[in-house]
A and B are shown apart, each in its own frame.
Chain A
Amino acid sequence: MSRPKDSPLPKRTIAPLFWLLFGAGGMLSALFGPALILITGVMIPHGLGVPERFGSYATVSAFARNPIGKLVLLAVIALLFWHAAERLFLTMHDMRVAPAPLLRWLTYGVAALLTVAVVALLLAIGF
């Protein structure tokens, strides 16, 4: 159904969808981000506070094969990309780096591609 030109209602856009992904990624990283970085980047690789085998191929691939583990990986990786895409788009738009449509492709477009890549990898790793 097409919207009449003199409609008093605001034009509907998909911007709220991007805003939702941005908010979800921002909240997830604000709540658990510092702990996640410490766990995967400091504690597991250097064996601080956790057993050495937490970082082994067997453990990590068991985590990535588990459906809940897959969901966690997809949520963390994809939402952080979408969060960064929204912030980078708005900031570069304010800095007048390039026209808005081009910036949308460079930010939302890349986030969408990376999300597809994460889904494909998780499916390729198998169950």
Chain B
Amino acid sequence: MSERRPYIRPQPRAWWAHPPYRAYTIRELCGVALAVYAAILLAGLVCLARGPQAFESYRAFLASPLSLAIHLGLLATTLWHMVTWFRILPKTMPKLVWRGRLVPQALMTNVATLVAVVCSVGLLAMVVVVGARL
């Protein structure tokens, strides 16, 4: 009798390193880079709990050129995370109908990205204004 032998398309092991999957891999790893930033904040919390002396060495690290380079790298990955996050958003949420018409995905992405820019710039402005008044 015949045996069931389905065709299984071969998949190279490093499929994620080549287009079109490379964009997916980069997007996901940019999300993972956020954990590095969380770890830096956590290290600050550990130093804070250990006392003023430990916290001073943490501040010295933050003021170093290495830390500046790390944070600029993190800033770039987080901006890419922001851009891609709102590209995914319309694909993961229910369809939005406004006045009997389907809201285009590109419009949702653009509006959400604009909201994010306003949020980040607003937070920056708030910190600078509060700092100037103190």
Contacts and interface: CB of A to CB of B under 8 A. Distances in A.
Contacts of B63: 45-46
B81 A29 contact: yes
Interface in B105-126: 115-116, 119-121, 123-124
Contact of B45 (A34, A46, A50, A73): A73
Nearest to A96: B13
Contact of A117 (B34, B42, B59, B120): B42
A54 B65 CA distance: 20
Contacts of A124: 49
Nearest to A23: B92
Nearest to B33: A84
Contacts of A106: none
B48 A61 contact: yes
Contact of B74 (A25, A37, A50): A37
Among A26, A90, A118, the most chain B Cβ lie within 10 Å of the Cβ of A26
Interface of B: 13, 16, 25, 28-29, 31-35, 37-38, 40-42, 44-46, 48-49, 52, 55-56, 59, 62-63, 67-68, 70-72, 74-75, 78-79, 81-82, 85-86, 115-116, 119-121, 123-124, 127-128, 131, 134
B67 A51 contact: no
Nearest to A54: B131
Nearest to A73: B45
A44 to B, nearest CB: 8
Contacts of A84: 31-35, 38
A69 to B, nearest CB: 11
A95 B16 contact: yes
B71 A42 contact: yes
A40 B71 CA distance: 9
Given A37-B74, A37-B75, A81-B35, A30 B86 contact: yes
Contacts of A35: 119-121, 123-124
A43 interface: yes
Nearest to B86: A30
Which of B42, B56, B63: most chain A CB closer than 10 A?
B42
B14 to A, nearest CB: 9
Interface string A72-112: 01001110110111011011001110000000000000000
